[in-house]
């Protein structure tokens, strides 16, 4: 029971942190467009991010079962933690609020600084990275539980689409939420690395002969289910 509560709590925190960042990138990319194109860019950006999350979720659940890739996923998640740490230290959340408000309000009214196509390309590239981060975190926490995965990604998409500015304001006003999110993601990344090394089926330890079959950890978190 407590494992389930912790998992859903971790998913919510990860979604808050990572979905907010995704919306920030979309807002900043759209900020240099005139109002009529800005709304289209933000809408398309949200749709692209939602589609990518679904695609990555389907792929991730299959790929993480391939020997060695759980370890690689843990390393990628550690990099996400490092990036988040730098963002927190540089007070990115406060700048994010300004960028999102500029994109959503009247904001920039002059000659377009970029075309809609250029904005969408920038948004798509950022969406690929951000969506992969989000899916990796949720998939690692869900650990094969499809219900947790679906709820986690569904929540991420809803938060990103309808509460992006609110989330960034919340994170800017209460920095401890970002630090809590960093701690949760770091724990998930380290656990993912541990399983990526010691897991009997997918760990690099048994695969490379560094850990014997009798000493490896069965599938599931901590060797459980």
> What pLDDT digit, counting tens, does each position of 188-214 carry?
888 888 887 887 776 777 777 667 666
Structure-token pair, residue 161: 């689409």
pTM of full prediction above 0.75 = no
What's the distance, Cα to Cα, between the start and end of the chain in Å?
13
| Rounded alpha-carbon distances, angstroms, from residue 28 to 97, 100, 114, 209, 210 | 10, 7, 12, 48, 47
pLDDT value for 224:
42
Domain ranges of the chain: 2-196
Report residue 168's pLDDT band, with 50, 70 and 90 as the boundaries: low
The answer to whether the beta carbons of residues 91 and 188 sit under 8 Å apart is no
């Amino acid at each position: 029971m407590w494992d389930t509560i912790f998992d859903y709590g971790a998913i919510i925190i990860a979604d808050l942190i990572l979905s907010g960042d995704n919306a920030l990138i979309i807002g900043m990319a759209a900020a240099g467009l005139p109002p009529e194109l800005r709304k289209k860019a933000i809408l398309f950006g949200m749709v692209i991010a939602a589609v990518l999350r679904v695609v990555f979720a389907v792929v991730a659940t299959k790929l993480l079962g391939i020997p060695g890739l759980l370890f690689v996923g843990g390393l990628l998640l550690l990099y996400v933690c490092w990036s988040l740490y730098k963002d927190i230290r540089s007070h990115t959340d406060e700048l994010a609020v300004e960028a999102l408000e500029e994109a959503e309000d009247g904001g920039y009214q002059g000659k377009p600084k970029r075309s809609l196509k250029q904005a969408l390309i920038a948004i798509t590239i950022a969406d690929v990275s951000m969506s992969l981060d989000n899916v990796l975190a949720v998939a690692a926490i869900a650990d094969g539980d499809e219900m947790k995965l679906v709820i986690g990604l569904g929540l991420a998409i809803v938060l990103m689409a309808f509460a992006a500015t609110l989330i960034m304001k919340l994170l800017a006003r209460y920095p401890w939420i970002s630090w809590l999110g960093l701690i949760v993601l770091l724990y998930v990344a380290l656990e993912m690395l541990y399983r990526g090394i010691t897991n009997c089926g997918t760990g690099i330890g048994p695969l490379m002969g560094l850990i014997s079959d009798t000493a490896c950890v069965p599938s599931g978190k901590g060797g459980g289910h």
